[in-house]
Copies of this chain bind each other. A is one copy, B any other.
């Protein structure tokens, strides 16, 4: 255990190293690291008293709160796993999550959905707020057996494979390794203050929360994104960074149009003129890299960082210093530079598989590499381009063709509004490529125009043989509804189907 460092261990160190530093701020609550450590010890004892042991799951059903971090650290101390569930989900979706995880304890904030779930479930449900505080107050801190940092401690639900979402399990070792890469790439230092205004059930906010924790900074929590409250908190807590992009930045700038709040502590990318005047603009690669790169929950957050490859050819930048990337063909071989394949990964930040999905885990880790399910390309300068989700593959002759790559090429034509690509059965080639394209209003383009357009962009075998025009492309979420497209346009004969 001499090499092990859990989230709980890191907290125990902070309690000694940073006795006067504020660890969390949430409304009226302000806790130093020793105070947080003491509460986490009592919370771990309280959960233990509810029957939660090593390997058990605890679910948080609520908006952002410091209790999420407290529960995560208590689970680390116990060897249990916290899942901060997506409270925006429907009754059916959350019922699935609870059935899937069978948690030993649920800490919940009341809503129509959570109250209904509470009524139908048994077991240890603790209401956030007073009941949660009474639970802590009634427990005596005590020591627990040392937990290995290879044990999972956080579960985050990710995209639906085979029709249902799965909980990606992340260990302390992976979370702290990823946090360290953020310390490098974002140049986070002691005193860093992060405003948790994005959802903590998503890795995008959680990873900054944990990096701030790791460097001994201050995490400020707010239930959800409220522009005026974000301004107030940045001013009051001298926040270094928040979870903001595009329209959120505009909303914050608008809320502070009168200059009521001093936002100068915020180090952020340039945006609008109003915004730039309010904050401290940081145009270094370390700030620009914020949203740049490629990532997913299963790699702990970010796998590649634009900040490590400013000016490189691949918009996703270069791999994390603690990971390896291979662009792979379906047979596990590495595809040549410049060719599209599946982005695969190994390294210290990777997840420990999905909870209770042995078949999916075996498939995703085939050939000893985590298969992200996303397509990418290694550029000649070594940087990575993210192409799109893999979803399905077309087989034409001996060649593998990924719809996302062909769609990307079609969409570069000025007349194209949207495009989707399917495989249609072919007696000679197994399948050939067919494109379904919707044009922009008042724009025109023929089948020949589009096939000619992609000639310089794609290898010959990837080019559509046929183009069909449609008013819109049917979608499932953000991606084409390939099943509907196949049905409407004669698709089929997919490999492995």
A373 in contact (CB, < 8 A): no
Stretch at the interface among A263-271, A346-354, A452-460: A346-354
Q: Are A183 and B321 in contact (CB under 8 A)?
A: yes
CA distance A325 to B5 in the complex (A): 11
Are B19's CB and A321's CB within 8 A?
Answer: no
A216 to B322, CA, bound (A): 12
B382 and A319 form a contact (CB under 8 A): no
Tell me which of A8-16, A156-164, A199-207, A397-405 binds B.
A8-16
Give A1-31 interface residues, CB cut-off 8 Å to B: 1-5, 9-10, 12-13, 16-20
The residue among A173, A309, A382 with the most chain B CB atoms within 10 A of its own CB is A382
Shortest CB distance A240–B (Å): 16
Chain B residues whose CB sits within 8 angstroms of the CB of A309 once the complex forms: 190
Are A381 and B321 in contact, CB atoms less than 8 angstroms apart?
no
Copies in the complex: 2
Distance between Cα atoms of A35 and B474 in the complex (Å): 49
- Tell whether A19 pairs with B324 under 8 Å between CB atoms, given A3-B346, A5-B348: no
* Residues on the B chain within 8 Å of A148, using CB: none
Residues 116-153 of A contacting B (Cβ, < 8 Å): 146, 150
- Contact assessment for A325 and B368 in the assembled complex, using a CB-CB cutoff below 8 Å: no
Most B CB atoms within 10 A — which of A9, A190, A216, A285?
A190
CB under 8 Å from chain B, chain A span 300-347: 308-309, 318-319, 321-326, 346-347
Nearest B residue to A146 via CB reads B368
Q: Which residues of B contact A440 (CB under 8 A)?
A: none
Question: Which of B176, B318, B326, B368 is in CB contact (< 8 Å) with A322?
Answer: B176
Q: Is A214 an interface residue (CB 8 A)?
A: yes
A368 touches B2 (CB 8 A): yes
In contact, B17 and A383 (Cβ under 8 angstroms): yes
Residues of B contacting A174 with CB < 8 Å? Answer: 3
A353-382 vs B, CB cutoff 8 Å, 1 = contact: the mask equals 000000000000100111000000010111
A: number of interface residues (CB 8 Å)? 54
On whether the beta carbons of B346 and A5 are closer than 8 Å, the reply is yes
Residue of B nearest to A382 (CB): B17
User: Are the CB atoms of A325 and B1 closer together than 8 Å?
Assistant: no
Q: Indicate which residue in B4, B20, B176 contacts A346 across the interface (CB closer than 8 Å).
A: B4
Give Cα A228 to B266, complex, Å: 45
Taking a contact as CB atoms under 8 Å apart, the answer to whether A2 and B346 are in contact is yes
Task: Find out whether the CB atom of B17 lies under 8 angstroms from the CB atom of A319.
Answer: yes
- The answer, yes or no, to whether A215 is at the interface (CB within 8 Å) is yes
A318 and B17 in contact (CB under 8 A), knowing A2-B346, A12-B324?
yes
Cβ–Cβ < 8 Å partners of A380 in chain B: 19
A346 touching B1, Cβ below 8 Å? yes
- Complexed CA–CA distance, A3 and B187 (Å): 24
A2–B345 CA distance with the chains assembled, in angstroms: 8
Q: Which of B180, B215, B308, B382 contacts A19 (CB 8 A)?
A: B382
What B residues does A322 contact at CB under 8 A?
5, 176, 180
Partner pick for A180 among B180, B216, B318, CB 8 A cutoff: B180
Query: With A12-B324, A180-B184, A382-B19 as given contacts, are A2 and B365 in contact (CB-CB < 8 Å)?
Result: yes
Q: List 10 A-B contacts (CB under 8 A).
A: A1-B346, A1-B368, A2-B346, A3-B347, A5-B322, A5-B324, A17-B383, A189-B285, A190-B318, A216-B308
Identify the A interface with B (CB < 8 A). 1-5, 9-10, 12-13, 16-20, 146, 150, 173-174, 176, 179-181, 183-184, 187, 189-190, 214-216, 285, 308-309, 318-319, 321-326, 346-348, 350, 365, 368-370, 378, 380-383
Question: What 5 additional pairs, Cβ within 8 angstroms, besides A17-B383, A180-B184?
Answer: A2-B368, A3-B347, A5-B323, A190-B309, A216-B318
Q: List the 5 closest A-B pairs by CB distance, nearest first.
A: A17-B382, A13-B324, A183-B184, A17-B318, A19-B382
